[in-house]
């Protein structure tokens, strides 16, 4: 199996994030999977807030995890105040 690694890197860049997982790491996780779905592989990346985050590729593609968990919670509590 060949990962669409350059595409993944580009996708994270397009969302102002930086992919940290290497192609080898992704392949390794992929090979461990029973179902062999790349969308469920958790990738490490620098989120828009500048912190490290770890979200599977599929939800990230749908704009989940653009902020790390603690920044997301902060954002939600700040929005709740308004």
First-residue to last-residue Cα distance in the chain = 49
| Window contacting Zn ion (CB under 5 A); options: 5-13, 21-29, 57-65, 66-74 | 66-74
Would you state the structure tokens that stand for residue 81, as one six-digit string? 């105040």
Does residue 68 interact with Zn ion by CB under 5 A?
A: yes
Enumerate residues 37-56 that contact Zn ion by CB under 5 A. Answer: 49, 51
Residues 63, 48: Cα–Cα separation, whole Å: 11
- Residue number, 58 or 73, with CB nearest to Zn ion: 73
Would you state the structure tokens that stand for residue 60, as one six-digit string? 């990230």
Does residue 19 interact with Zn ion by CB under 5 A?
A: no
The contact set with Zn ion (CB under 5 A) reads: 49, 51, 68, 71
């Amino acid at each position: 199996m060949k990962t669409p690694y350059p595409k993944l890197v580009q996708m994270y860049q397009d969302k102002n994030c930086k992919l940290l997982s290497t192609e080898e790491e992704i392949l390794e996780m992929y090979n461990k999977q029973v179902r062999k779905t790349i969308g469920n592989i958790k990738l490490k990346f620098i989120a828009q807030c500048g912190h490290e985050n770890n979200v599977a590729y599929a939800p990230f593609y749908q704009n989940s995890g653009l902020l790390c968990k603690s920044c997301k919670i902060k954002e939600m509590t700040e929005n709740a105040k308004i």
